[in-house]
Structure 1
Amino acid sequence: TEIIERHWAAMTRWMNYLTDANPNGLWMNKRGNDFGDWLSIKADTPKDVLATGYYAYDASLMARMARATGRLEEATKYDALFEHIKSAFNTAFVTSDGKIKGGTQTSYLVGLRFNLLPAALRPLAAQHLVDDIKAKDNHLSTGFVGVGYLCPTLSDTGNNDVAYKLLLNDTFPSWGFSIRQGATTIWERWDGWTPDKGFQDVGMNSFNHYSLGSVGEWLYGHVAGISTDPNSPGYKRIIIAPHPGPGLTFANATYDSVHGRIVSNWKTEAGRATYDVTVPANTTATVSLPVSDAKNIQENGRSAFQSPGVTFVRQEGARAVFSVGSGTYKFTTSAK
């Protein structure tokens, strides 16, 4: 929490600056350069939707940091600010059937990812997001802001298959399209080069630019499923929650945490799924596997319920959740 302590006063001043300029909860004033969802493809996300969404997100982060540093009164203050912005967001931008102003993929991602929608509207907004992707022949349209939230939000809303479709596309616009053109790095623009138009504006057309590479977080955090428990940061308590999907038969991932190497590998073969997990010394992990009945899971050739170091925690819908200590584990089950 040292970094929070060091910058708390500055962050507080920033939030006061936004709130003083936008007392009604919508970030309409003092938005600076206001680039919006930069370099999106044929999708103009309203900048007031983006700005207000991030204003709410900032408030939620401030509340979390306040709690982490024992500032309980300020946490309550920022919780209230978040609810104020959320209410204003819904009144101004959201319809009764879950449509969000602009109707772009990024508009829906802001509402869903930042928890700005009432529970009843979340599945409707998620369906609108999927519908827009399908209307674009199963292609994305997000720019710098939306692209990092696209696949994680799809997976988290029960649309993992759509996320995989976007990942594996090789027609424009997609990551695979640039690979087909010989790319070995991430481009700044989806259309940095196209067969019909050639190169984009030479004044701003990097071919080695992080930007759209934020999909890498989804590859690690969802496909392989490696993340840290937000209540025990720094990978002291690890979460392993792989999300296999159509088009891939295996995924191998490692992450060198401060405690040691974390491994999450999976493969599907001959009607079986195998999950290899390594948890470093002096840590624990929650392992969530996409299996509807935990009794069908084996670990190292025996029932997971009888395996040393493995404790069944709960069944969460179609996922079985276990707690494990440090060590290496091989879970097997019938492939879905």
Structure 2
Amino acid sequence: MNAIYRAFTAQIMAEVSHVLNYFDKEKEYKKLFSLIKDFIQEKYVSNINGKFNLLTKTADNVDKSFQGYSFVDNSQTGLLWFLKLHLYSDKSQKDSAIQVLKTSIENNGQTIRTNMPENSLAVGFLGINILLPTLSEIHLNDTAYNLLLSDENPSWLLAVKNGATTLWERWDSYTKEKGISPDAMNSFNHYAYGSIAEWLYSQMLGIKVDPTNQKYPIIISPVIDTGEKYNDQERIKHVSGFLETIYGQVAVEWKSNDKVMTELTIDIPVNSEALLKLDSASAKNLGLLKDTNDSTDTFDLKLGFGKHSFKN
């Protein structure tokens, strides 16, 4: 993770330098990022016989963490950062990394991770904050929703099933079978796994605010749940919420059925505009898109301030 965070820092500093018009510094940080990317490609990426592997264990010759967790190659955390930071060499390698990550999460027949359930996460503090956002970025929204609805260990809903009213430091801080975990660092009021809230607001509600976007600082692009039922949790078909922004309160409510949006209400604050972005199927179902063709994936609509309602 040292190399990953160094690359991440270089990427952030390049962006900061650009905003501040320090273009020489921006160039330096981009060069540093490129050097780190080359290092990661050389040390951690294996393409033997055309098969992609991210050597998150064997490249550093380590077996366990200080807390006793076993390291593995193709770890979900490593793959997520690899994809988030665009550390892949080309589209083919990106697609391979996505497939390896998807296979790890699905864990069909528990053949990839023998001690963990199907459709399950395998990340801790260093991967949880980018887990669902990165899955959405690489167009695996159904996978993200599956993880959100999972109630086996490890998952957010496992804690809920065990009576939690706060977020825990460990996935299994308490279970009905084993009681309170005897491990060290076992807080029952911890922030880390609450980072899922970013995804709930930016993807599920679809509220994205970017003050540097002079044309559309507010973008509304809700991602509905189109997954198939796989446990005793119902799929999500109704979401409502709001976000307090520097422009005022932005509120979104949507309902869906048969994998398309059926109702959508948006409230934009005074003196503001927003850009609504929907998938073409939902836009057509809401009556916003009359004529379409197979090449049309998304629908955009400019919204002024006030309440806007669309219904099938």
TM bucket by the smaller chain? 0.7 to 0.9
Conserved? CA contact 1:236–1:259, under 8 Å: no
Structure 1 position 296, deviation (Å): 5.5
Aligned residue in 2 for 1:24? none
Match of 1:89 in 2: 40
> Which residue of structure 2 aligns with residue 110 of structure 1?
81
Equivalences for residues 1-336 of structure 1 within 5 A: 50-96=1-47, 97-101=51-55, 102-120=73-91, 121-135=93-107, 136-201=117-182, 203-229=184-210, 231-232=212-213, 237-245=217-225, 246=227, 247-269=235-257, 273-292=262-281, 297-298=286-287, 318-332=297-311
CA contact (8 A) 2:261 2:282 kept: no
Q: How far apart are 1:288 and its partner, in Å?
A: 0.9
Indicate conservation of the 8 Å contact 1:288/1:322, yes or no. Answer: yes
**1:213-249 Cα shifts (integer Å, max 9, x gaps):** 111111111111111136338x971111110013100
Amino acid corresponding to residue 139 of structure 1 in structure 2: S
SS at 2:193 equivalent: helix
CA distance in 2, matches of 1:164, 1:239: 21
C-alpha contact 1:187 1:207 (8 A) present in aligned 2? yes
- Would the alpha carbon gap of residues 188 and 317 (structure 1) be closer, same or farther in structure 2, given more than 3 Å must change? farther
In 2, Cα distance between the equivalents of 1:165 and 1:65? 35
C-alpha deviation, 1:297, in angstroms? 4.5
| Alignment: residue pair count | 271
Post-superposition CA distance 1:19-76 (Å, at most 9, x none): xxxxxxxxxxxxxxxxxxxxxxxxxxxxxxx211111111111011001111111111
- Between the aligned partners of 1:219 and 1:318, the Cα distance in structure 2 is 23
CA–CA distance in structure 2, aligned partners of residues 204 and 75 of structure 1: 39
Distance 1:317 1:188, change over 3 A: farther
Q: Which runs of 5+ in 1 are unaligned?
A: 1-49, 306-314
Match of 1:44 in 2: none
CA contact (8 A) 2:276 2:303 kept: yes
Q: Distance in 1 between matches of 2:248 and 2:295?
A: 29
For residues 241-281 of structure 1, give each alpha carbon's deviation from its aligned partner in whole angstroms, at most 9, with x where no partner exists: 11001310011120111221101211014875222111112
2:252, 2:264 within 8 Å by CA — same for their partners in 1?
yes
**Per the alignment, do residues 104 and 171 of structure 1 end up closer, same or farther by CA in structure 2, a change over 3 Å counting?**
same
Cα distance, 1:231–1:316 mapped onto 2, change above 3 Å: farther
Q: Is 1:151–1:218's contact at 8 Å kept on the other side of the alignment?
A: yes
Name the aligned partner's letter for residue 284 of structure 1.
E
Name the structure where helix makes up a greater proportion of residues: 1
Do the aligned partners of residues 259 and 236 (structure 1) sit closer, same or farther apart at CA in structure 2, a change above 3 Å counting? Answer: farther
Q: Distance in 2 between matches of 1:272 and 1:330?
A: 12
Task: Tell me how large the CA RMSD over aligned residues is.
Answer: 2.5
Shift of 1:98: 3.6
Quote the offset at 1:170 in angstroms.
Answer: 1.2
* Cα distance in structure 2, aligned partners of 1:295 and 1:198: 50
Higher relative contact order (CA 8 A, sep 6+): 1
Percentage of pairs with the same residue: 32
4+ residue runs of structure 1 moved beyond 4 angstroms? 269-272, 292-297
Cα deviation code 1:197-219 (max 9, x no counterpart)? 32113752111111111111111
Deviations 1:169-192 (A, max 9, x none): 111111111100000111110010
Is the 1:239–1:286 Cα contact (8 Å) retained in structure 2?
yes
Instruction: Give the CA deviation at 1:196.
Output: 3.4
Contact 2:173 2:188 (8 Å CA) reproduced:
yes
TM-score by length of 2: 0.80
TM-score, L = length of structure 1: 0.74
Q: Equivalent residue for 1:308?
A: none
